[in-house]
Amino acid sequence: PGHDFRYAIDSTKLQSELNWSPKETFKTGLRKTIEWFLENQNWWRNIQKNTYQQERLGVIG
């Protein structure tokens, strides 16, 4: 957490070979990402201030 600057994926092969499709569109995924950052400002602000103590927020779902 806090060290990944970018994720780039081409899911074409997954979609064709495994009959898989993403649950989110780019637009809905971006909206959810922005909402997460707005709801978790205390966590990411600690990273900006270099006071991050490697704590995890956990996984939902």
Residue 33 placed within a domain: yes
The dihedral of CA 18, 23, 25, 26: what is its sign? negative
Q: Provide the domain count of the chain.
A: 1
Residue 1 placed within a domain: no
Residue 5 placed within a domain: no
Residue-level pLDDT at 1: 57
The pLDDT tens digits for 30-46 are 999 999 989 988 877 87
What is the full DSSP assignment across 2-46? ----------HHHHHHH----SS-HHHHHHHHHHHHHHTHHHHHH
Residue 59 placed within a domain: yes
Residue 4 placed within a domain: no
Q: How confident is the model at residue 24 (pLDDT cuts 50, 70, 90)?
A: very high
Which one is predicted more confidently, 40 or 16?
16
Q: Which domain holds residue 46?
A: 23-61
The span from the CA of 7 to the CA of 16, in Å, is 21
Residue 34 placed within a domain: yes
Contact 37, 1 (CB under 8 A): no
The model's pTM is: 0.52
Residue 16 placed within a domain: no
Residue-level pLDDT at 2: 65
